[in-house]
Structure 1
């Protein structure tokens, strides 16, 4: 069973479009279950379940037979959300006969739902002439198969049905996680790694004859390369190995291979896409063979395919013209890819892989480019040239948006631009309420690009400098002197205001390529202070660089991440004390910096009173604290709707932390997404947080909402929401308060597609 499942799923994943995938599913499941019929019904954009593929019923019925939920046996499977297994299907009260299918002779019926993210996307059905119930093993096989294939079939549902490459598509929505906030409307440009056969985006061919000639020139170039390589190695390899080059040349000379590619070019595909399709199909055929020697030839086919594809892509890339509003899309975008697009033309970014802490997301926030990461269901290879909307607030991507949706997002975009311009006047005004309560606003930084934007928007200091960013953007550990230079720039830029530098915080979703951490559960593993205390040589070098950089400025504060127990704080303080003493002995005139602990995990929340007696300040990391309290990975799109920053448990924990810090006579700040949310900022101020730290983009909005309310009203609002037990109810209550106060323009845009 497992071997059959694995084999079918591999074949389905290798298919280039949903039509091919469905054909593989019905034929292979029918074969494995030794039954007479296998069919797939999929939900269309109207909500009906349509026969989309069959092996056994009349092929003419495909696309014509449709049932509503609850209609017929298929519709009953949808409503029940569980299998229906019948030996006399025609005797069941829900049975509905469709003469065009020719199914009247089949008595046995087994239908199982295809469920993805709690939605029934379709029904997988097998039928048989013999009157019998399918046994438990057969039912288990079909249930397991539907679960395995649900993610693949979800692409069809996401695109509003089966859309062949190049065909006219309908509006579709894909979810990821926010990498950088904002709205971008533009045209998709897909960038893929060179010579990756499975990552070639579909592009239409504009001139068939020219494309075929280009393809033939590429074949000739590769043929010449292989001949030359064979001649160079003739004296160094034996006759059997030399035969490999002859085999490559034979494949390139195979007229049928070239004909398959040219046929697809004539049907409208570009040469790179047509070539990759043909090679993948041939590779799949070889992989499925039982003979080990023939199966090994799949590697040769793949190698040859990459060689030709490299020529095809190199020529195409040079001729690339980028649209004025480019939405850059890729399976895994990198910092270097951003450099390929002219700065003035780059409007938004979408990456299938990666998280909000990926290199490209960090750069996007610094460059103020709306970004969505982790859009795992996005069929990116088919997106090139299509109109796209990027919603960096909700982590959503819309392809082929309707005129209505486009108008909705255009209005939000223009409103945002006007709001940013209108808030510029607040730069030099204090952040204080109408009844004169003062609340300092700091910024989170990591790159020098953040500094300019932060100062332009009136930041009063740095609440969180992510020291791991310079580490992430290098291919080795930066030296102590290199670190000192980087830290000095930050400290000088904000002097005399304080700069809170967090010690190296790697692990989880922040991995250094030159210091890999391989773990099954990285978020509960070796990360933050755990790593640096286990490697004191890294920690000591960083602390030395920080304190040396602060000489003559004295505005450095050091923050310890991922604290879970008292011993970690004591050990880190001892090392910092040692460094300070050594630097004084070496003649540096440096002041010992304040030391703080980050509250990011539930253990630290309950240790807040004890921690407050050992450090100079506390700082809450709201993003991590929320995900650990709720057991929700904030970078996982599948559970993104469960990540609620306004969850009552989160708010109660935050209030407890403030009480603990103030009882010990120390200050407490908060950084993360919550601090940058205008509505949340009111609650955090009322709780008693001494400083809010956020991305520079959000600072003017937060300042505006604080200046538009009284501290007395904020306290009342906090009392009201703390009696509530539902996060959505709390968010709605705050939104109503902002509207009633005339501050609704500062609410995070309502960017759902309900419009």
Structure 2
């Protein structure tokens, strides 16, 4: 038995044979030619075919993993249309009088190297994207398509890395798990894996990609980040029992549907879901969430190539509240910046974007964008139980400025005789400053929602997207938990409720502690609703 360790992307146990996936080796030769016009035409035709393939992939991903996760294929299309990329290819063909394949390969390598040299983690990850689009064009030039992951029996896919386009083409019924030697927990592939609910590991650097593992029986332990190749009888039996226990647990959880989220001592908890777009509403309803605690409205902006109009936004928000049929839908206002960049906003490159021009700071300095969204939100609030949440608040003056703009919007809507409701308005607590000011801030808003991802990052002074700092990043740090407790206490003193919408809200090892703190709401991924409901029903907050 051989045991290899990696980073877990998605939990669960997978048992089956390994299939080593190797990318097609695209052999590119430098060929001199006098027919540069012909090579330029070949490149244009190949690029058009590649874009068509990406459009097909986008439609497939849209059905399987939702609009937010399918957006990577739109990004790949935009990258293929990028002026700098195309100028590089064309320049190499014309000045060096070489074949299109060579020009594409050199451009892909040069741009990937440029991205890898950048300081920003998000931009470094784009190196894989530019290599992916270059490989796609090369495949077309060579007369074929990019290789698909194909298998005739359910297997554990093992690869050096998997591009998003390769991951989305996985036939889910035929793939038990995937394990890669390289990759990042924040890559598009990792995000897609979590959405597709496939047990997966990345960074299993010692794992060989040859006949020593291909076709061998293996066990992927997604919870502990290990893959066992040719497991011994004892390990296999233990893992089979764990897998069976997990399946039984899932089946038992289905019995919890329809039950109220009430502790043994009678404390009722709001258990909501986090979503990125209205295509996620089906999973919210399927998992019996009590409402939506975080609708990430920035994806509406990220999925477009220009500012979404008031009517476009109004239609989306209205659909959400109507579909949820009276259950609360909390929509977070625009939260771009940092790791979520939107090209048409025309923002300058920043040395430290996590501490820079983002979220409410954009909205308050570009009120025309903010007012368009607020108009859509207030109009949609007439059709259901909608609440508005403002991110990255650090001071009272920001809240007061927001209120001024809200009053302007309400005055405009009234003058135009447009119907609107009276939505609750809350803020995200995700900076130490907001925690320390929470007593004063609580008097100005209707609720708090604690964004633990950024709160942890800012409290510990650690870039949460830097893999080199993983061992220093401690979401259970006593300082983080103390800040959550302080926020909840100050909210209750002012008579408002406080919830958690960050990743920590789904950490079942902390659920009982959060309940003991008095947290009123937990907003988590739809798949975490029932496991957390089980803990709530078994907890007595007065006897902890």
Common fold: TM-score over 0.5? yes
- Return the offset for 1:605: 0.7
Where do 1:211-360 residues align within 5 Å? Answer: 226=33, 229=36, 244-245=96-97, 310=139, 315=144, 317=146, 321-322=150-151, 324-325=154-155, 327=157, 333-334=163-164, 336-348=165-177, 352-353=182-183, 355-356=185-186
CA radius of gyration, larger in = 1
Could you report, residue by residue, the CA deviation over 1:659-679 in whole angstroms, capped at 9, with x for unpaired residues?
A: 111111111111122221223
Which residue, 548, 562, 581 being the options, matches 2:379? Answer: 548
Which residue, 625, 629, 636 being the options, matches 2:455? Answer: 625
CA contact (8 A) 1:620 1:670 kept: yes
Extract unaligned runs of 5+ from structure 2: 41-92, 110-130
Does 2:300 align with 1:477? Answer: no
CA contact (8 A) 1:322 1:341 kept: no
Does 2:496 align with 1:666? Answer: yes
Where do 1:584-733 residues align within 5 Å? Answer: 584-713=414-543, 716=544
Closer, same or farther: CA 316–528 of 1 in aligned 2, 3 Å = closer
- Larger CA deviation: 692-701 vs 385-394: 385-394
Q: Within 2, Cα distance between the matches of 1:614 and 1:620?
A: 16
- Return the offset for 1:361: 4.9
- Return the offset for 1:242: 8.6
CA contact (8 A) 1:190 1:380 kept: no
Where do 1:339-418 residues align within 5 Å? Answer: 339-348=168-177, 352-353=182-183, 355-356=185-186, 361-371=190-200, 375=203, 393=223, 396=225, 398=227, 400=229, 402-403=231-232, 409-418=239-248
CA contact (8 A) 2:167 2:192 kept: no
Could you report, residue by residue, the CA deviation over 1:485-524 in whole angstroms, capped at 9, with x for unpaired residues?
A: 2222221221211111111112222223544663232222
CA contact (8 A) 1:433 1:706 kept: yes
Name 1:63's counterpart in structure 2: none
Name 1:492's counterpart in structure 2: 322
Q: RCO higher in 1 or 2 (8 Å CA, sep ≥ 6)?
A: 2
Q: Within 2, Cα distance between the matches of 1:676 and 1:306?
A: 38
Could you report, residue by residue, the CA deviation over 1:338-364 in whole angstroms, capped at 9, with x for unpaired residues?
A: 4433343354466855554x6555554
Which residue, 495, 507, 518 being the options, matches 2:337? Answer: 507
Q: Within 1, Cα distance between the matches of 2:136 and 2:272?
A: 52
Name 1:568's counterpart in structure 2: 398
CA contact (8 A) 1:330 1:380 kept: no
- Return the offset for 1:447: 3.0
Closer, same or farther: CA 477–651 of 1 in aligned 2, 3 Å = same
Does 2:352 align with 1:518? Answer: no
Closer, same or farther: CA 504–189 of 1 in aligned 2, 3 Å = farther
Name 1:120's counterpart in structure 2: none
CA contact (8 A) 1:580 1:592 kept: no
Does 2:2 align with 1:173? Answer: no
Normalised to the residue count of structure 1, the TM-score between the two structures is 0.53
Report SS of the residue matched to 2:246. Answer: helix
Report SS of the residue matched to 1:615. Answer: coil
- Return the offset for 1:432: 1.3
Q: Within 2, Cα distance between the matches of 1:581 and 1:398?
A: 61
Report SS of the residue matched to 2:382. Answer: coil
Extract unaligned runs of 5+ from structure 1: 1-168, 193-199, 203-214, 234-240, 253-275, 281-301, 717-755
CA contact (8 A) 1:675 1:694 kept: yes
CA contact (8 A) 2:11 2:199 kept: yes
Name 2:412's counterpart in structure 1: 582
- Return the offset for 1:333: 3.6
Q: Within 1, Cα distance between the matches of 2:249 and 2:432?
A: 37
Closer, same or farther: CA 575–311 of 1 in aligned 2, 3 Å = closer
Q: Within 2, Cα distance between the matches of 1:559 and 1:397?
A: 39
Q: Within 1, Cα distance between the matches of 2:151 and 2:491?
A: 53
Q: Within 1, Cα distance between the matches of 2:39 and 2:471?
A: 59
CA contact (8 A) 1:500 1:558 kept: yes
CA contact (8 A) 1:329 1:380 kept: no
Closer, same or farther: CA 172–664 of 1 in aligned 2, 3 Å = same
Report SS of the residue matched to 1:598. Answer: strand
Q: Within 1, Cα distance between the matches of 2:137 and 2:189?
A: 30
Q: Within 2, Cα distance between the matches of 1:314 and 1:411?
A: 48
CA contact (8 A) 1:426 1:704 kept: yes
Closer, same or farther: CA 231–314 of 1 in aligned 2, 3 Å = closer
Where do 1:77-226 residues align within 5 Å? Answer: 171-175=3-7, 178=9, 180-184=10-14, 187=18, 226=33
Normalised to the residue count of structure 2, the TM-score between the two structures is 0.72
Report SS of the residue matched to 2:261. Answer: coil
Q: Within 2, Cα distance between the matches of 1:184 and 1:232?
A: 47
Q: Within 2, Cα distance between the matches of 1:473 and 1:386?
A: 40
Could you report, residue by residue, the CA deviation over 1:670-706 in whole angstroms, capped at 9, with x for unpaired residues?
A: 1122221223111111111111111111111111112
Could you report, residue by residue, the CA deviation over 1:10-51 in whole angstroms, capped at 9, with x for unpaired residues?
A: xxxxxxxxxxxxxxxxxxxxxxxxxxxxxxxxxxxxxxxxxx
CA contact (8 A) 2:430 2:454 kept: yes
- Return the offset for 1:550: 2.4
Q: Within 1, Cα distance between the matches of 2:169 and 2:176?
A: 13
CA contact (8 A) 2:499 2:522 kept: yes
RMSD of aligned residue pairs (Cα, Å): 4.1
Report SS of the residue matched to 1:678. Answer: coil
